[in-house]
Amino acid sequence: MPRSSPKPSPLASGQVLVTGGAGFIGSALIWALNQRGVEDILVADLLGTDDKFLNLVPLRFADYIEGDHLLASLSGRDPRLRGVRWVFHLGACSSTTERDVRYLMQNNYEYTKALAAWSLKNKARFVYASSAATYGEGAQGMDDQNPNLHRLRPLNPYGYSKHLFDLHAQHEGYLPKIVGLKYFNVFGPNEAHKGDMRSVVHKAFGQIRDTGRVQLFKSYHPDYKDGGQKRDFLYVKDAVAMTLHLATASKAGGLYNLGSGEAHTWLELVAPIFAALGKAPKIEFIDMPETLRAKYQYFTQANVAKLRASGYTAPVTPLTQAVADYVGHYLAPGRRLGDEPAAAFPAPSYRPSRKL
């Protein structure tokens, strides 16, 4: 008997809009959509003079619109938006050191408000990037199932701009109808343009390749040794698989932590980089800038019970394997997502839910 053809993705029903589509997670999401046979994608971003556009070169999509033009189009009848049924709003200023609060309010908060309202009015599924930065230092817990959002105390303007929309969505009654994603420490291909906001994996790779050693911040907390600070590191291929699952899960709504669910130390993170480059570990601990010490997070770990309860069953890529894939198939040869060899890890599979 002939083999049956794969069931088409629910995301193939209607056009997909991805804001921040040339960015790190946005371009990875388009890559994952392409792997699922989805190419009717409208990409929005703000392209400037850096090399971020190169993330789009290997990807397949229908059209591109500048982010400021998209915002203006929401109040009109732009034909490019007529068929949009899925909105992944990943575009934002993601710099945790940005001090221009007015800019963050316009770019992160007001933009998200406008796009969410448009999506709900036009019956498009709205999935947006909130942030684990909304949890602040984590003293109030990192629980995505606690409805008391006012308990949270973000530490920086970026985190507050994200938190403010979460509060707005809750106040307006949007949250049960939309999905907000609290990404933890995501790393992986297509992040080179992020400058100082690149992951430690990307920064460490360059240091180890060029000097044979890596510099890590000393610990200023008695409970953590140098290099023993812990983060929940999530490979971007896992992050976008989780994102697509929640988009198509008919009962998913509200805020979701997206992480591995397991904290690892900085030492555990950099060890496989040395291994992938065939070098013996050499680590130098340096002073942390005074401006960071009071706001530094020594431990983050996502509680992903709510994600799992939504039906996401795919295993998370183990940290050592994720780092090896990133270094060996992307960083060392200078590749981006869409240019990888067949040996690279594909996007983790997920079981699409029924059409919304």
- pLDDT for 298-347, tens place per residue? 998 999 999 999 999 999 999 999 999 999 999 999 999 999 887 676 76
Task: Write b or e for each residue in 71-86: b if 16 or more Cβ atoms lie within 10 A of its Cβ, otherwise e.
Answer: bebbeeeeebbeebbb
Question: In the prediction, which pLDDT does 200 show?
Answer: 95
- Using DSSP's 3-state secondary structure scheme, residue 159 falls into helix
The helix (H) or strand (E) run that includes residue 86 is: strand 84-89
Residue count of the chain: 356
- pLDDT for 202-217, tens place per residue? 999 999 999 999 999 9
Question: In the prediction, which pLDDT does 124 show?
Answer: 96
State the catalytic residues: 158, 194
Residue 135's region, left for phi above 0, alpha for psi from -120 to 50, else beta, is alpha
Integer-rounded Cα radius of gyration of the chain: 20
- pLDDT for 15-38, tens place per residue? 999 999 999 999 999 999 999 999
| CA dist., res. 271 & res. 283, Å (int) | 10
Question: In the prediction, which pLDDT does 347 show?
Answer: 67
Question: In the prediction, which pLDDT does 139 show?
Answer: 75
Question: In the prediction, which pLDDT does 349 show?
Answer: 62
Question: In the prediction, which pLDDT does 31 show?
Answer: 98
- pLDDT for 127-147, tens place per residue? 999 999 899 877 788 899 999
**Domain covering 14-186+233-262+301-318 in this structure, CATH number:** 3.40.50.720
Assess contact for 137 and 82: CB atoms under 8 A: no
- Using DSSP's 3-state secondary structure scheme, residue 218 falls into coil
Q: Name residue 233's beta-bridge partners.
A: 185
For the sheet with 125-129, list strands across it.
63-66, 41-45, 15-19, 84-89, 125-129, 179-183, 254-258
| CA dist., res. 55 & res. 21, Å (int) | 9
Question: In the prediction, which pLDDT does 354 show?
Answer: 43
Question: In the prediction, which pLDDT does 307 show?
Answer: 97
Question: In the prediction, which pLDDT does 344 show?
Answer: 72
| CA dist., res. 313 & res. 90, Å (int) | 24
Q: Is the pLDDT of residue 241 over 60?
A: yes
The average pLDDT across 114-129 equals 96
